[in-house]
Chain A
Amino acid sequence: MAPKLCVLCETAKAMLRRPKTGQQICRDCFFYVFETEVHNTIVEAKLFKSGDSVAIGASGGKDSTVLAYVMKTLNERYKYGLELFLLSIDEGITGYRDDSLETVKRNQQQYDMPLKILSYDELYGWTMDAIVAQVGRKNNCTFCGVFRRQALDRGAAMLGVDHIVTGHNADDIAETILMNIMRGDIARLGRCTAICTQGEDTIKRSKPFKYAYEKEIVMYAYFKKLDYFSTECIYSPDAYRGHARAFLKDLEAARPSAIIDIIHSGEAFEVKEEVKATQHVQQTCQRCGYMSSNPLCKACTLLEGLERGSAESGLTERARKKLEAEGPTPENIRTIPFFNKTPSGNPGLSIAVEIPA
Chain B
Amino acid sequence: MSSDNLSLKIEFGGGLELLFSKQRSHNITIPAIVRKDDSTSSLPQENDVETKPADITYLIHHLRDHLLKERPELFIENKTVRPGILVLVNDTDWELEGEGDYQLKNGDEIVFISTLHGG
A interface residues, Cβ below 8 angstroms from B: 4, 13-17, 24, 59, 61-64, 167-169, 171-172, 214-215, 217-219, 222-223, 230-233, 236, 245-246, 249-250, 252-253, 356-357
Contacts and interface: CB of A to CB of B under 8 A. Distances in A.
A222 B118 contact: no
Interface string B100-118: 0000000000010111111
A272 to B, nearest CB: 33
B113 A218 contact: yes
Interface stretch (B33-41, B53-61, B89-97): B89-97
A250 B13 contact: no
Contact of B14 (A13, A171, A230, A357): A230
Interface of B: 13-15, 18, 82-84, 86, 88, 91-93, 95-96, 111, 113-119
B15 A232 contact: yes
A63 B117 contact: no
Given A218-B86, A246-B83, A16 B119 contact: no
Contacts of A214: 84, 115
B83 to A, nearest CB: 4
Contact of B93 (A16, A171, A232, A246): A16
Contacts of B96: 4, 14-17, 24
B115 A215 contact: yes
5 contacts: A171-B115, A233-B118, A245-B116, A250-B83, A357-B118
A230 B15 CA distance: 5
Given A62-B14, A230-B15, A231-B18, A357 B119 contact: yes
